[in-house]
Structure 1
Amino acid sequence: MSLVGRTRREALQVNGALLVLAALSLAPLLWMLSVSLMARGEASHFPPPFLPARATLDSYRELFGSTGIGRNFGNSLLVSLAITVLSLLLNTMAGYAFAKLRFAGRERLFQLLLAALVVPAQVAMLPLFLLMKQLGLVNSFWGVIVPAMASVFGIFLVRQYARSIPDELIEAARIDGAGELRIFFQVVLPLLKPVLVTLATFTFMGAWNDFMWPLIVLTDQEHYTLPVALAALSREHIMDVELMMAGAVVTVLPVLVLFLALQRYYMQGLLLGSVKG
């Protein structure tokens, strides 16, 4: 067999394997969407059908009409956007400071921050809850937002990328009389755009999907975020598979659309950060 024919066969085998893996990965999501469009009780048949006999939006009408899930959707959107904006600002400033500003104990402090990555998040939840209680932030959106405003991973990601910015560019701005804040916002921030998109995607998806901490700190159902509200709803409608799948679609769809829309910038930020850092 010729080299061209062998190369083509290998390419077909690789693409075929990738296609099979993609189909296996997408099958649960497609079945979730399909079940959400089924009539009540249809998914409980055995064997369960893959496609609805007659597509209907009854589950979505009930979900938004009688369960109050629309309010919880708004809660999740508010909390996730607030966390993303504040996290971008604080993580970016801290990451730039660790990368380019010289101050006493910089490297030791950064090593201490990295050491905190090995501490499981569950270990910190009890002292964090007690702190939120002392601050009067329990059962409020700020109780969810404040602990997520900065993260070690976000600081690390920005620092690694910011180290690639030429020192000569920053020194030239200082010679021209620019202050540190002006340098940061007008010179550094535009150069950090790829990693900012990556960090924003990470942060928004993490805040949107977070279940454990909102479950702990939010006690009033009116403040529930979408994952917590969906878990509470499942206890009341445990046999209503179609309704639960509709809720799952509403929960997954925003972050899926966000990731697909920003996928190119997301991967660019990761790859450039790994190469330049």
Structure 2
Amino acid sequence: MKILKYIALALGLVLTLGPFYWMMVGATNPSGAILSVPPNLILGSYLGENFKNLMNSVDIWRSLFNSVIITGAFTIFAGLFSAAAGYAFAKFKFRGRNVLFAVFLMSMMIPYQALIIPQFELFAKLGLLNTYSAVVLPQLAYPFAIFLMRQSMQSIPDSIIESARIDGCGEYRTFFQISLPMMLPAIGAMSIFLFTHQWNNFLWPLVALVTEDMYTLPILLSILAGQDNLDYGQLMLAATISVIPIFVIFLFLQRYFIAGIVGGAVKG
């Protein structure tokens, strides 16, 4: 029985990591070798040439910089707002709290495509199109992140919050110095979700960002994939560069990930 489990786990590992390995192999081989039959699964020596061709085709470093700035700002501010909203929903008693929270969660059911046109008109009137703010601001109140933080905040005993208030702590100090440090696993899990969501965000940045110097990596990848003379080596190298930050963030925060997800499921 154990052998079957190990075989299933090994198969799952191959299916999960196989595409990433093939992508890295493609980044080190010429375009023609990537689609060869049988497939080439050995790292090549064409990485430097692919990198040179990629630099001549697009400004990937500028797009990488744009993605880092936009995703970093979004993760920080959306994380802070989500934690504050989750704290309010979990620890403040006010009339209609549950109804308001249910209505807020229902907003997740609205297709994002239905919001594109009014959102575009709003930011056009504000003069914010083709700016970092146009991509960062629309989803700062991210429903899933607020839900996760609200569920996690409920695991904090009310007696701790009440004791802090009795001792003279203001709400800001109670939130930042008592509640947030106790929520580090949930914050780590939330940060991974927010970072991954914004890093891979394609549709709205494609609409809101006009000039090439403001493009993010997903838009740049779509440009490379849409070229008439498609160079798979360049495309695989650009894709490899785009996934490295996600791996780094996940490895850095992985110890918080499982604990945060489990913690969010403790109380409903």
Question: How many corresponding residue pairs?
Answer: 268
How far 1:41 moved relative to its partner? 3.0
Tell me how far apart the structure 2 counterparts of residues 98 and 21 of structure 1 sit (CA, whole Å).
Answer: 39
Which residue type is aligned with residue 247 of structure 2?
Answer: L
How far 1:66 moved relative to its partner? 4.8
Matches within 5 A, 1:89-100: 89-100=80-91
Number of the residue aligned with 1:6: none
SS of corresponding position for 2:155: coil
Which residue type is aligned with residue 86 of structure 1?
Answer: F
Tell me how far apart the structure 2 counterparts of residues 201 and 257 of structure 1 sit (CA, whole Å).
Answer: 11
Number of the residue aligned with 2:183: 192
SS of corresponding position for 1:239: coil
SS of corresponding position for 1:78: helix
Tell me how far apart the structure 2 counterparts of residues 51 and 137 of structure 1 sit (CA, whole Å).
Answer: 47
Correspondence 1:131 to 2:122: yes
Tell me how far apart the structure 1 counterparts of residues 48 and 124 of structure 2 sit (CA, whole Å).
Answer: 42
Gaps of 5+ in 1: 1-9
Correspondence 1:36 to 2:34: no
Tell me how far apart the structure 1 counterparts of residues 125 and 22 of structure 2 sit (CA, whole Å).
Answer: 45
Number of the residue aligned with 2:52: 61
Tell me how far apart the structure 2 counterparts of residues 238 and 101 of structure 1 sit (CA, whole Å).
Answer: 59
Tell me how far apart the structure 2 counterparts of residues 262 and 243 of structure 1 sit (CA, whole Å).
Answer: 30
Residue number among 74, 78, 83 corresponding to 2:69 in the alignment: 78
Q: Deviations over 1:105-155 (max 9, x none)?
A: 222211110111111111122211111112211111100000121211111
Residue number among 257, 260, 264 corresponding to 1:273 in the alignment: 264
SS of corresponding position for 1:269: helix
| TM-score of the aligned structures, taking structure 2 as reference length | 0.94
Matches within 5 A, 1:98-137: 98-137=89-128
Correspondence 1:225 to 2:216: yes
Root mean square deviation, CA, Å: 1.6
Higher deviation after alignment, 53-62 or 126-135? 53-62
Does the Cα contact within 8 Å between 1:39 and 1:52 map onto a contact in 2? no
Residue number among 164, 167, 173 corresponding to 2:158 in the alignment: 167
How far 1:62 moved relative to its partner? 2.8
Structure 1 runs (4+) deviating above 6 angstroms are none
Number of the residue aligned with 1:7: none
Tell me how far apart the structure 2 counterparts of residues 75 and 221 of structure 1 sit (CA, whole Å).
Answer: 11
Which residue type is aligned with residue 29 of structure 1?
Answer: F
Greater Cα radius of gyration, structure 1 or 2: 1
Correspondence 1:17 to 2:8: yes
| TM-score of the aligned structures, taking structure 1 as reference length | 0.91
Tell me how far apart the structure 2 counterparts of residues 151 and 37 of structure 1 sit (CA, whole Å).
Answer: 38
Tell me how far apart the structure 1 counterparts of residues 18 and 171 of structure 2 sit (CA, whole Å).
Answer: 51
Which residue type is aligned with residue 262 of structure 1?
Answer: L
Change in 2 beyond 3 A, CA 1:252/1:238: farther
Which residue type is aligned with residue 184 of structure 1?
Answer: F
Tell me how far apart the structure 2 counterparts of residues 199 and 237 of structure 1 sit (CA, whole Å).
Answer: 39
Change in 2 beyond 3 A, CA 1:105/1:53: closer
Which residue type is aligned with residue 209 of structure 1?
Answer: N
How far 1:254 moved relative to its partner? 1.2
Tell me how far apart the structure 2 counterparts of residues 175 and 54 of structure 1 sit (CA, whole Å).
Answer: 67
SS of corresponding position for 2:226: helix
Q: Deviations over 1:218-250 (max 9, x none)?
A: 111110001101211222364211111101111
Does the Cα contact within 8 Å between 2:135 and 2:208 map onto a contact in 1? yes
Number of the residue aligned with 2:251: 260
Does the Cα contact within 8 Å between 1:71 and 1:222 map onto a contact in 2? yes
Number of the residue aligned with 2:203: 212
Does the Cα contact within 8 Å between 1:35 and 1:51 map onto a contact in 2? no
Tell me how far apart the structure 1 counterparts of residues 244 and 229 of structure 2 sit (CA, whole Å).
Answer: 22
